[in-house]
């Protein structure tokens, strides 16, 4: 689908290791993390910002569409090509040559192809980490392009909050390199241009380098599983924990009983922590942490957590039915196993939604009541970040359900959920997964026309080339 002249030109730019085409195995780049699969015209693997610029310049000048791909862990088809075989993939996986820590400034300058685990592995010896906690192991460029949040958003915020600078290649005929790699924490000298590239799925440019805020590693932590006496009491329980613990509360994660059961079933090594092995209908993982080493005479965090939960337990509101304070690594292992457990429970139809914190449990209660009225035989396996309003609303359909053979079934189900979430609860259709092909139609439906025109005008003027699987 692409001439040998173009393949030759790209190979000259990138060298023998930097380009895959033709009979080369491109399947790992063509297959997404969840069900999506496309066909690539080629896979370009530049190792420097200059090589990215040269590739983008060539492709824009010759009208060759590009899809920027980071770790390919996204869930909305934003990093994989379509099935036409006309789109090239611009992979960041070789942009790993930079990792420079400024210990005093508490920042790291890193290549966009560095994986989160690799970055944290290098920072660990310095007692630091990049505080975005995820079940997957993405590359930094994709994390920035999708503005990932994660399980400790409550304390540390999202990627946007922790990004100080970027280097970006624009999709114009020159492959313009925009150097915004400042390590300044305060710089109010005009438009904060880096924000244009955070959370916009690569449509405005390819991120090649970044300057990130890093945080001290927690040196003390305590974790509990909380069983609320009623789902309606979860908001009050969150406020009670925040009032008692302040910014020491680093996570407040909700997990439905169906999602927990799926994880326990899929990962036999997980310990079932519940009495008699009976999984409650809804569970909260709460974590508190400190960055200082234990001091003499200082109350330990497990004791702090037990005291706080004891006061809530004895309160007149009756917020808690049960609570288990236990090993942090075991409880987080259960939380991080939810995605894989749910995915293996059947055919997964997943939504990444967000609401005002007080509306999360109202939405879940509404869907538990309403969904069976419209679609029978579907299991709701929700979990998410109650502390920031995010919900991974997962619907599991049996793999042999005949409705899956109907091409209209899944789109109609998605439209129903999005309508309830956005129109009736004033929520977001994408809390932290950004916009890819899977979300393009709902983006077009729910994004105001004026905002879409502004986005299109910005792209046309700043980065007009055919870049990105999602078009704003």
CATH 3.30.465.10 domain residues, the chain: 99-216
Average pLDDT for runs of 10 along the chain of length 472: 89 94 88 85 97 97 94 83 92 96 98 97 96 90 93 93 97 96 93 94 94 97 96 96 95 96 94 91 96 92 96 92 93 94 94 96 97 96 94 96 96 96 96 86 93 92 82 63
Q: How many helices (H) and strands (E) are present in the chain, helices listed first? A: 15, 19
CB 416 within 8 A of CB 429: no
Residue 134: CB atoms within 10 A of its CB come to 18
Which segments of 205-290 are extended strands (E)?
A: 206-213, 215-216, 220-228, 249-256, 282-290
What number of CA atoms fall less than 13 Å from residue 37's CA on the CB side?
Answer: 4
Return the CATH fold of 220-338. Answer: Alpha-Beta Plaits (3.30.70)
Does residue 458 come out as left (phi exceeding 0), alpha (psi in the -120 to 50 range) or beta? Answer: alpha
Residues of the chain with CATH 3.30.70.2190: 220-338
Report the CATH fold assignment for 4-94.
Answer: 3.30.43
| Number of Cα atoms under 13 Å in the Cβ half of residue 265 | 15
Tokens representing residue 214 in the block? 């890093």
The CATH code of domain 346-433 reads 3.30.70.2740
What are the φ/ψ torsions at residue 132 (nearest 5 degrees)?
-110, 110
Cβ atoms of 51 and 57 within 8 Å: the answer is: no
Q: Per-residue pLDDT tens for 15-44? A: 988 999 987 889 999 988 877 889 999 999
Listed in order, the ranges of the chain carrying CATH 3.30.70.2740 are 346-433
At 220-232, the pLDDT tens digits run 999 999 999 999 9
CA 123, 127, 129, 134 dihedral sign is positive
Cα 397 from Cα 381, distance rounded (Å): 11
Q: Could you tell me which CATH number the domain at 99-216 has?
A: 3.30.465.10
């Amino acid at each position: 689908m692409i001439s040998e002249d173009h393949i030759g030109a790209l190979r000259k730019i990138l060298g023998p290791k930097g380009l895959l085409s033709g009979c080369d195995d491109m399947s790992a780049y063509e297959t997404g993390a969840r069900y999506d699969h496309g066909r690539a015209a080629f896979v370009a693997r530049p190792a420097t910002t200059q090589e990215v610029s040269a590739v983008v310049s060539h492709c824009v000048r010759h009208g060759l569409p590009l899809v920027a791909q980071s770790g390919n862990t996204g869930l909305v088809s934003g990093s994989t090509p379509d099935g036409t075989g006309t789109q090239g993939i611009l992979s960041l996986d070789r942009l790993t040559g930079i990792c420079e820590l400024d210990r005093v400034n508490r920042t790291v300058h890193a290549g966009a192809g560095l994986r989160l685990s690799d970055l944290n592995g290098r920072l660990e010896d310095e007692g630091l980490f990049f505080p975005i906690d995820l079940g997957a192991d993405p590359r930094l460029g994709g994390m920035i392009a999708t503005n990932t949040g994660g399980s400790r958003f409550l304390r540390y915020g999202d990627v946007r909050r922790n990004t100080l600078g970027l280097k970006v290649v624009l999709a114009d005929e020159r492959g313009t390199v925009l150097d915004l790699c400042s390590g300044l924490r305060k710089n109010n000298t005009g438009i904060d241009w880096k924000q244009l590239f955070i959370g916009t799925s690569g449509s405005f440019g390819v991120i090649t380098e970044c300057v990130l805020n890093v945080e001290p590693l927690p040196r003390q932590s305590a974790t509990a599983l909380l069983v609320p006496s009623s789902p309606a009491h979860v908001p009050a329980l969150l406020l009670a924990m925040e009032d008692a613990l302040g910014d020491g509360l680093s996570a407040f994660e909700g997990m439905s009983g169906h999602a927990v059961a799926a994880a326990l079933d899929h990962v036999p090594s997980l310990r079932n922590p519940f009495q008699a092995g009976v999984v409650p209908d809804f569970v909260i993982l709460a974590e508190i942490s400190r960055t200082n080493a234990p001091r003499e005479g200082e109350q330990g965090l497990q004791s702090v957590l037990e005291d706080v939960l004891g006061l809530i337990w004895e309160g007149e509101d009756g917020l808690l039915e049960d609570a288990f304070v236990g090993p942090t690594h075991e409880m987080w292992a259960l939380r991080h196993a939810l995605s894989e457990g749910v995915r293996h429970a059947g055919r997964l139809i997943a939504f990444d939604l967000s609401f005002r914190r007080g509306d999360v449990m109202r939405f879940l209660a509404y869907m538990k009541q309403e969904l069976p009225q419209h679609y029978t035989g579907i299991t709701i396996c929700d979990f998410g970040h109650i502390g920031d309003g995010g919900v991974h609303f997962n619907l599991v359909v049996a793999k042999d359900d005949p409705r899956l053979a109907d091409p209209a079934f899944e789109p109609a189900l998605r439209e129903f959920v999005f309508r309830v979430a956005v129109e009736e609860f004033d929520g977001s259709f994408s809390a932290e997964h950004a916009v890819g092909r899977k979300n393009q139609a709902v983006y077009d439906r729910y994004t105001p026309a004026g905002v879409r025109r502004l986005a299109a005008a910005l792209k046309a003027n700043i980065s007009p080339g055919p870049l990105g699987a999602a078009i704003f």
